[in-house]
Structure 1
Amino acid sequence: MHIIKVPCSSANIGPGFDVIGLALSMYLELHITTKPTEPPTPTNPLNCTITYTGVGAENIDLDPSANLLTRTALYVLRCHNQRSFPPGTNVHIHNPIPLGRGLGSSGAAVVAGVTLANVCGGLNLPKARLLDFALMVERHPDNVAAALYGGFVGTYLNELNADDMARVEVPLAEVLPQPAGGEDTGLTPPIPPMDIGHFRRFDWSKELKAVAIIPDFEVSTAKARGVLPLQYTRKDMIFNLQRLALLTTVLSDSPPNPDLIYSAMQDKIHQPYRSTLIPGLTEILQSVTPSSHKGLCGICLSGAGPTILALATENFDKIAETIVGRFKQEGITCEWKVLEPAEDGTTVVEVPDS
């Protein structure tokens, strides 16, 4: 049996929209077993069964031809001339990562999918190549690189040439024929160019933890992007660039400087516009400060939201309770967790079958 663990991630940290991400200690976990003597059947032509526990279990599609995680794995396998999983593959998914809350649930699923293919197919691909495959399905390098490599990362994508532009993002319809589970065409899906995404890990202050306040509603990434303007003023762009230039360094300082971190985490590119989707967001970001809450260093929207990420050294419960209370005024319930950077990123462990 193999166990794959993939951390959740927070992207768009403060002014770092589509640039920086942070892997956090909440893990999507896969347990993979195979029974080579189990033959394919007409009802299971992909040789794979899925079981699932965790968040949103009632809405998770357990058909391997439709589930995002296994479809991603099949994309990678078929790029390597393997049309299905090894006979008798069972994938048990345990997922504590809230869906659609800005904690990288889809990025974690895609990273888990490419890693699953690497394990099941015996492909021995390095993480750099797995990143290419993941970015063909999930075009958010800040989430994907953080989940794959771990820690606090900065990322960018290559400018692809005209030939590659058609392959910028692989429609899942190209991974499996439509409708899902239909007859295998035998075609090889688009293979990613080499090194389409780049990342660099930054240091992280050992004193800083992340308090994730998770409201009980979803914000889709598409909707959150839909409220953003197509153009920004030079003034707003300079505002963000100035702060981003400091942020990746000040978050590594030990001890951290709360006032400097708080000011460096201000943003004018995405958070002001997404306040229309998240009741109370503007007030929370402006009122929860180092002067009002001991231990607080910075606060921002996590990913597309609605999760709020508060970086702090202490007083976690009071910080969380204030934000939970503000959401409660809007009729919104929340849960909250104290998380730490997941330094190892995605891991694979082989354990003896019990």
Structure 2
Amino acid sequence: MWIIKVPCSSANIGPGFDVIGLALSMYLELHVSITTSQSPTDQLNPLNCTVTYSGVGAADIDLNPENNLLTRTALYVLRCHNQHGFPAQTHVHIHNPIPLGRGLGSSGAAVVAGVLLGNVVGGLNLPKPRLLDFALMVERHPDNVAAALYGGFVGTYLNELDPVDMARVEVPLAEVLPQPAGGIDTGLVPPIPPENIGHYRRFNWSKEIKALAIIPDFEVSTAKARQVLPTEYSRKDMIFNLQRIALLTTVLSDSPPDPHLIYSAMQDRIHQPYRAGLIPALPSILSSMSPQTHPGLLGICLSGAGPTFLALATHNFESIASVIIDRFRREGISCEWKVLEPAEDGATVQEVSGDVPTYRKENKLS
């Protein structure tokens, strides 16, 4: 039995649109077991995999391994290595506390977990850079994916690959499970990732800084959040963001942190102003909260595409959260809030014995 843990992540972090990400201490967790015994119902499961789920959004999660993003991703990894199904009989229990569609990297965590699942059950022993290649073939957001896989505070970029490779936004379901559906194996090998699709670099993070996530009770799809963005930007706005991101990746490592410098470095003109129509109270929250008005606050921004707000702070977490929650309450929207820390280890795989998680071995995928 294995336990796979993948942290949630916050992308963009103010001016770092599609560039920087932060792994945070809320974890998607898989319990994976394989047994050779068969029941009569197993013969009706050509993929040799059953899925159960607990956590947020349970009523909306598709447990069919052909359709579930996590198991589809694992199957993609397996079929790229000439393994056309899961080992018989594989059971995957997913426990997910990460809110769905809220800007905390739920899909990126699922994709990374799926890649690790395929790596484990297939006995592939892929190195971490290769795991990143597979994850980026399914989810082309390196800031979320690299943070979830490697952990910590990261900067990322995608290589300029061959036009055929770059045209592929994601691996279509038809290439992983060719039609007709039902797990029928045609023997086709899906597109194998090029090597070194993306790169990352970890930055230091000050031990005093915590991440306060205020999570409104509604979803914003990444597709909609991108549709509202312009296709061209002024030179002035691009320089504004470039100047600030150059400072931000350094000043977040300062101890003690400088509230005024961090607050200034977290300003953005590339994505947040254009998403105001999707997220009530966004302009007023960003414009009215600062280290001067709220002691302990260092900076505030959307987490990913939103609607979650990420407030970096050293203290007064409840007071800061209550202001944002009250702004949303005026719009008829409820929120929850959590104080999170950087997940420095990133994704981990632990081998356990029996049904009780007595750890024999831990693999930090170094």
- Quick check: 2:47–2:183 contact (8 Å CA) kept in 1? no
- Name the structure 2 match of 1:104: 105
Q: What's the CA shift for 1:172?
A: 2.1
Which letter maps to 1:24?
L
Structure 1 residues 179, 101: closer, same or farther in 2, change over 3 A? Answer: farther
- Name the structure 1 match of 2:363: none
Structure 1 residues 177, 253: closer, same or farther in 2, change over 3 A? Answer: same
TM-score normalised by the chain length of structure 1: 0.98
Unmatched segments (≥5 aa) in structure 1: none
Q: What's the CA shift for 1:162?
A: 2.8
- Name the structure 1 match of 2:152: 151
- Quick check: 1:167–1:190 contact (8 Å CA) kept in 2? no
- Name the structure 1 match of 2:165: 164
- Name the structure 2 match of 1:68: 69
Alpha-carbon distance between aligned partners in 1 of 2:129 and 2:22, rounded to the nearest angstrom:
18
Structure 1 residues 249, 212: closer, same or farther in 2, change over 3 A? Answer: same
- Name the structure 1 match of 2:262: 261
Q: What's the CA shift for 1:179?
A: 5.1
Alpha-carbon distance between aligned partners in 2 of 1:122 and 1:14, rounded to the nearest angstrom:
40
- Quick check: 2:49–2:89 contact (8 Å CA) kept in 1? yes
For residues 245-293 of structure 1, what are the alpha-carbon distances to aligned partners after superposition, in whole Å with 9 as ceiling and x for unaligned?
0000000000000000000000000000001100000110111110011
Alpha-carbon distance between aligned partners in 1 of 2:94 and 2:117, rounded to the nearest angstrom:
11
TM-score normalised by the chain length of structure 2: 0.95
- Name the structure 1 match of 2:351: 350
- Name the structure 2 match of 1:279: 280
Structure 1 residues 231, 31: closer, same or farther in 2, change over 3 A? Answer: same
Alpha-carbon distance between aligned partners in 2 of 1:163 and 1:313, rounded to the nearest angstrom:
46
Structure 1 residues 18, 35: closer, same or farther in 2, change over 3 A? Answer: same
Consecutive aligned runs of 4 or more in structure 1 exceeding 6 Å deviation: none
- Name the structure 2 match of 1:300: 301
Task: Say if 2:190 is the partner of 1:189.
Answer: yes
- Name the structure 2 match of 1:113: 114
Alpha-carbon distance between aligned partners in 1 of 2:102 and 2:295, rounded to the nearest angstrom:
26
- Name the structure 2 match of 1:13: 13
Q: How many residues align?
A: 354
Alpha-carbon distance between aligned partners in 2 of 1:162 and 1:336, rounded to the nearest angstrom:
42
SS in structure 2 of the partner of residue 303 of structure 1: coil
- Name the structure 2 match of 1:324: 325
- Name the structure 1 match of 2:50: 49
Alpha-carbon distance between aligned partners in 1 of 2:166 and 2:213, rounded to the nearest angstrom:
36
**Aligned residues: CA RMSD:** 1.1
Q: What's the CA shift for 1:167?
A: 4.2
- Name the structure 2 match of 1:31: 31
- Quick check: 1:66–1:180 contact (8 Å CA) kept in 2? no
**Correspondences of 1:209-228 after superposition (within 5 Å):** 209-228=210-229
SS in structure 1 of the partner of residue 223 of structure 2: helix
Alpha-carbon distance between aligned partners in 1 of 2:228 and 2:218, rounded to the nearest angstrom:
18
User: Kindly, what percent of the aligned residue pairs are identical?
Assistant: 79
Alpha-carbon distance between aligned partners in 1 of 2:44 and 2:293, rounded to the nearest angstrom:
60
